[in-house]
Structure 1
């Protein structure tokens, strides 16, 4: 069986860079095609923030179950959580770059009403995408099984002991 590797920083950097390129070039391509570049609303930032919040809550719950309470997790549920973590970090990285690139494309037009809206709303969406990326990485970390050494209890003096106290 092939083991699952943690998301690499290189992959995330490539996705952010690709999104940045697409987001920065998109307004010019839309104008060349004769279209009008849309003004962003608060919708994308709100949607990405909600997604980041949901993934963050699931990540905390998973971490608490696996690491603090040492509960066993159903294999199907663990795979679902890991898939959610990978998807969240990758989508967050891509959207982070795309919305940041879009906002940067209009930075020189910040003095106009539409330019200001595009920069502010694009920046807010990029920030929300960064939160989704972080929540995905935290979820991935929460899915890691604790090492065998971590399962031993610590005595009051800080030394590890495999003996469990018996009830009196």
Structure 2
């Protein structure tokens, strides 16, 4: 299993932001009304981020010798962290791009509300992204390798 790479996560945010921005710009130019993203999207992102951090914290406690854990659970937690990071990157990008599309229409109340809701949803995605990166780092064993090559790093007991 390879560690998360910040360049891949940044590319996921950038590409999904372009898709969110471009798709919503085309839809709005075509006469579609802005979609109001539910405010619960932020809450779901924060709760999922908290769950991922809690699972990662349990693995970190194992690494520090304070607990025992099945190695399979540790590997699953590392995978959960990576999945959260990638999903959060995509959500933050898409909703952020959508919010950017609506910013020029800030004077119109319905579009301003949609922009705020999309911005909050993007924040929820960012929370998932950060929580996933932290949890995945907590699941690493072996020497840290900050150059993102990951050749000698074993994560959650699995060698590359």
Fold match (TM-score > 0.5): yes
The CA deviation string for residues 15-66 of structure 1, in whole angstroms up to 9 with x for no partner, is 0011101110122333466644311220211211111111122222221232
2:132 matches 1:136: yes
Query: Which residue pairs with 2:53 in the alignment?
Result: 56
Query: Which residue pairs with 2:117 in the alignment?
Result: 121
Q: Please say which of residues 53-62 and 130-139 is displaced more in the overlay.
A: 53-62
Cα RMSD (Å): 1.8
Q: Look at both structures and tell me which one has the larger radius of gyration over its CA atoms.
A: 1
Task: Give yes or no for contact 2:37–2:121 (8 Å, CA) kept in 1.
Answer: no
Take 2:83 and 2:95, find their aligned partners in 1: how far apart are those partners? Answer: 18
Task: Give yes or no for contact 2:99–2:115 (8 Å, CA) kept in 1.
Answer: yes
2:62 matches 1:65: yes
How many residue pairs get aligned? The number is 143
Please, which of 87, 105, 118 is the counterpart of residue 101 of structure 2?
105
Task: Give yes or no for contact 1:16–1:94 (8 Å, CA) kept in 2.
Answer: yes
Q: Tell me, which stretches of 5 or more residues in structure 2 are unaligned?
A: 144-160
Q: What aligned pairs does 1:20-35 form with structure 2 within 5 A after superposition?
A: 20-31=17-28, 35=32
Q: Relative to 1, partners in 2 of residues 1:31 and 1:105: Cα closer, same or farther, differing over 3 Å?
A: closer
Q: Tell me, which stretches of 5 or more residues in structure 1 are unaligned?
A: 148-168
Q: 1:101: how far off? A: 0.6
Question: Secondary structure of the equivalent of 2:18?
Answer: helix
